[in-house]
Structure 1
Amino acid sequence: MINLKKHISVALAYFLLVALMGVLLRLFFVTPVQLNFKYILHAHSHTALLGWIYLGLTTLIYKIFLSEADKSKLYKRIFIFTNTCILGMLVTFPYQGYALYSIIFSTLFLFASYWFTWFAIKNIPEHFKHRFSWKLVKASLWYLVFSSVGPWAIGGVMATLGTESIWYKTSIYFYLHFQYNGWFILALLGILFYILEKNGVVFRREQLRSFFFLLNFAVIFTLFLSVLWFGPPTIIYVLGLIGAVAQILAFYELYILLKKPWSFLIKSISPRGLLLFKIAGVLLVAKVLMQFFSAFPYMADLAYRLKDFVIGYLHLVFLGIVVPLMLAFLNYFRLLTIPKSFLWFFLLAFITTEALIFYKAFAFWLGLPFFQNYYILLAAFSCLFPIAVGILFYNQIKNFYLST
């Protein structure tokens, strides 16, 4: 039998490394650092998406939908192979950036994600196949696979057109879009609907069908928002706007769907998990509105010129929506506990760093005063992230050894 708490401990170890690398990246703007900024940035982003979030989501999917399939040995092999790829990227990216060995390990990771997707779809128990929760998770896995078109394209673009080509950035944004808006969001929604289904909440089939259609329509068409940075033809702006509107409608339908069972969710989720859930809900509204406004040429150009808007947005989705929801669900399924001290440090770190990142963007946009110690403050508040994650990781390790 697999101890999934151990797997979450591994994921949290990656999260701690991500937080430490985040502080290191801030220090580049404060003091001379004898390392390559881009190389550390690559390691930071790959470990965040493919180490912490990927392992957290796949562990949840395995526990909920696949643990009864009696395929623990195969799942363990997939887990070991996946971690070999992640560790390979963790070692090679800081040393060489995008080069032979890091590309080998990141390519192998793509095959690891295909392996897990195949494993999940092939071994899903029959009684889950027609559930709406699995429909969402299955779609998320296909978006995970589809997102890999981006990394596959990058190699060809670098070899033929170079990194200055618009297709280089477009390939990266393609990957990030289907990771954030497809794989992450739909997987988390699938887990949410599983909890509701398990506790007897029934929805009208027409409502679910409408929500699913709008959600997937939005995921596909908001991709056009990721290519507005190079000033494409007007039709691309229109398609992006259509996707943004569809996304607003999709999440409004989600709000309607969750309105009745909300009282149940309040009772079933722990107080700390519920706080994280509420924060993610509020910031999800902010995300949807930001994507809507980015469909207009002026705002799209502004986001391209002022990179802090993009950095703030990505951190908002990652640290403000995906991480809180995943932690709330891990807590619900008793794969980790959430210490009160972690919450305070994490929220303080998130609020202060996001405020500073967006302030810089607004300051350059609106001509607001830009204070001298900005980068020192940003680095100092960023130090709260590894403290928060360190508390969570220590608590997880302590509980793991106490239970064995």
Structure 2
Amino acid sequence: MSTQNNPKAVVTNPKQVQSFVVWGLVLFLIAALLGTSMRLFWVVELPYFEYTNVLHAHSHLAMLGWGFTIICALFIHFLKGYIQKPKLYWGLVLANILVCSLMTVSFVLKGYTILSISLLTAHLLIAYYLGFLLLSDLKKLRNQTATLLGRWAIYWMFISTIGVWFLPLVIVNLGKLHPLYLASIEFFLHLQFNGWFVFAVLSILVLFFELQGKILKISRLEFFGLQISLVLTYGLPAYWSYPFEILAYLNSLGVLIQAVVFGRLLIPMVKALKDPTQDKSDLGYWLIVLGLISLFAKIVVQLTLLLPAFLHASSDIRQFFVGFIHLIMLGFFTMTSVGICLRRGLIPQNMLSKVGLLMLIIAFILTELTLFSQGLLLWNSFDSIPKYYEILLGFTLFLPLGILLVLASFAVKQPKGLLH
């Protein structure tokens, strides 16, 4: 990418972008420790903490801290030469890191209070500002597919927050037990995970492959299918609150459209990865492969919901719900994002980072297998896995340990790489 056609643009400092990745990983580590403590709740007694408070802290930090920060870092990295206000980006990303850190402490100690809600509001305002900055800079890209996916990722992020703003009205007028309360939360989560995070990573993947000389395109029909499937698949979480058959049918239609569209999108990405010029000995390569496998697995899991038995199990068996969320966030989002960071030199390639990332991969695969295996046993009315909670906790411990090693790798003197 060049600044020749954009003389007023400022090339962003690559070390600044790398610092965003470091801060994002710190937030990821804290979120992982909170997630590990949640599994510890089922093994030993933790008298000074409330499970629900830790859950809120974990989920908010994973999404609004780790997820948001790494998306901003990668967009800024690939937009170098098109960024008009790098100092403003820098200030806003750092402000969000501070807000999310304080929000996490507030949630752990007191749960939902005026302080935590105020900090959540502050995050939303920062996200809006950063979103509008990105929208302005993304439209300058020559790659129209990346621009389209990136801009709509931000639009869906904006739209998802309607669910958050709607919650106070529901609580005051209808109470937390009303179906609309859960439907509002699921509206936010659905568009965050399947809209904001998925569309953003797809856009970043397109930009990543472009730098390797692989131009990936999406047709108008495919993009329309991507959009309509996202809207229709909200039928499932809406069905959990309002069990009308029409919502289940809409979800089924959305799932089928999604399978066709993502199938067409994944094929050129797989071909690009199979290219002989790709360095298949590089761990970043395999992280991206694992990310795309996770996206494929997500689609397959959603296709099973065409069967009525699995449709009801999706809400009745918590292991399926948690496993599916982690398939998106730890699988597709995290593995792909970290893989791209590694390939672009934003994460050092040394022994510490490699061991840490291997631990990350092991933690993800083993916890997913454990969650879905336990879910299938419960669904078939069989006994639980012996020592299920202890096994799940043991596998989960690899996650924060792996992230810690990746963070430690930044302290090792880095060889000259792709950071530019």
TM-score range, shorter chain: over 0.9
Which of 59, 68, 78 is 1:54 aligned to? 68
- String of CA shifts for 1:340-383, please: whole Å, max 9, x gaps: 21233122212222222222212221122324422122212211
Where in structure 2 are the equivalents of 1:176-187 lying within 5 Å?
A: 176-187=189-200
What's 1:63 paired with?
77
Where in structure 2 are the equivalents of 1:164-243 lying within 5 Å?
A: 164-202=177-215, 208-230=219-241, 232-243=243-254
What's 1:132 paired with?
145
Q: Does 1:103 align with 2:114?
A: no
Q: Does 1:80 align with 2:97?
A: no
**Greater displacement, 350-359 / 255-264:** 255-264
Which structure is richer in relative contact order (CA contacts within 8 A, separation 6 or more)? 1
Q: CA deviation at 1:215?
A: 1.2
Where in structure 2 are the equivalents of 1:310-349 lying within 5 Å?
A: 310-337=321-348, 339-349=353-363
**TM-score, with length taken from structure 2:** 0.89
What's 2:403 paired with?
389
- String of CA shifts for 1:138-181, please: whole Å, max 9, x gaps: 11011111111111111221222111111111111111111111
Percent sequence identity is 26
Instruction: State how far apart, in whole Å, the 1-side matches of 2:213 and 2:359 are.
Output: 36
Identify if the C-alpha distance between structure 1 residues 320 and 307 changes in structure 2 by more than 3 Å, giving closer, same or farther: same
Instruction: State how far apart, in whole Å, the 1-side matches of 2:270 and 2:59 are.
Output: 35
Q: CA deviation at 1:55?
A: 0.2
Q: One-letter code of the match for 2:176?
A: T
Which of 298, 305, 310 is 1:299 aligned to? 310
Which of 387, 394, 413 is 1:373 aligned to? 387
Instruction: State how far apart, in whole Å, the 2-side matches of 1:299 and 1:144 are.
Output: 29
What's 1:17 paired with?
30
Q: One-letter code of the match for 1:288?
A: I
**Greater displacement, 11-20 / 225-234:** 225-234
Identify if the C-alpha distance between structure 1 residues 260 and 358 changes in structure 2 by more than 3 Å, giving closer, same or farther: closer
SS across alignment from 2:158: helix
Instruction: State how far apart, in whole Å, the 2-side matches of 1:400 and 1:262 are.
Output: 26
Identify if the C-alpha distance between structure 1 residues 112 and 397 changes in structure 2 by more than 3 Å, giving closer, same or farther: farther
Instruction: State how far apart, in whole Å, the 1-side matches of 2:198 and 2:253 are.
Output: 19
Instruction: State how far apart, in whole Å, the 2-side matches of 1:111 and 1:66 are.
Output: 24
Identify if the C-alpha distance between structure 1 residues 399 and 50 changes in structure 2 by more than 3 Å, giving closer, same or farther: farther
Q: CA deviation at 1:208?
A: 2.5
Instruction: State how far apart, in whole Å, the 2-side matches of 1:13 and 1:340 are.
Output: 17
Structure having the higher helix fraction is: 1
What's 1:146 paired with?
159
Instruction: State how far apart, in whole Å, the 1-side matches of 2:332 and 2:206 are.
Output: 17
Q: One-letter code of the match for 1:319?
A: L
What's 2:289 paired with?
278
RMSD over equivalenced CA pairs, Å: 2.3
What's 1:287 paired with?
298
Native 8 Å contact 2:348 2:414 kept in 1: no
Instruction: State how far apart, in whole Å, the 2-side matches of 1:37 and 1:108 are.
Output: 25
Native 8 Å contact 2:57 2:104 kept in 1: yes
Native 8 Å contact 1:217 1:243 kept in 2: yes
Q: CA deviation at 1:399?
A: 4.9
Native 8 Å contact 1:283 1:320 kept in 2: yes
**Greater displacement, 173-182 / 299-308:** 299-308
Q: One-letter code of the match for 1:236?
A: L
Q: CA deviation at 1:129?
A: 5.8
Q: Does 1:89 align with 2:103?
A: yes
Aligned pair count reads: 400
Instruction: State how far apart, in whole Å, the 2-side matches of 1:402 and 1:65 are.
Output: 22
Q: CA deviation at 1:397?
A: 4.1
Q: One-letter code of the match for 1:64?
A: F
Q: CA deviation at 1:66?
A: 5.0
- String of CA shifts for 1:61-102, please: whole Å, max 9, x gaps: 112125543411111221232123212211211111112110
Native 8 Å contact 1:320 1:350 kept in 2: yes
SS across alignment from 1:267: coil
Instruction: State how far apart, in whole Å, the 2-side matches of 1:199 and 1:189 are.
Output: 16
What's 2:268 paired with?
257
Structure 1 unaligned segments of length 5 or more: list them. Answer: none
Q: CA deviation at 1:280?
A: 1.7
Q: CA deviation at 1:323?
A: 0.5
Identify if the C-alpha distance between structure 1 residues 129 and 120 changes in structure 2 by more than 3 Å, giving closer, same or farther: farther
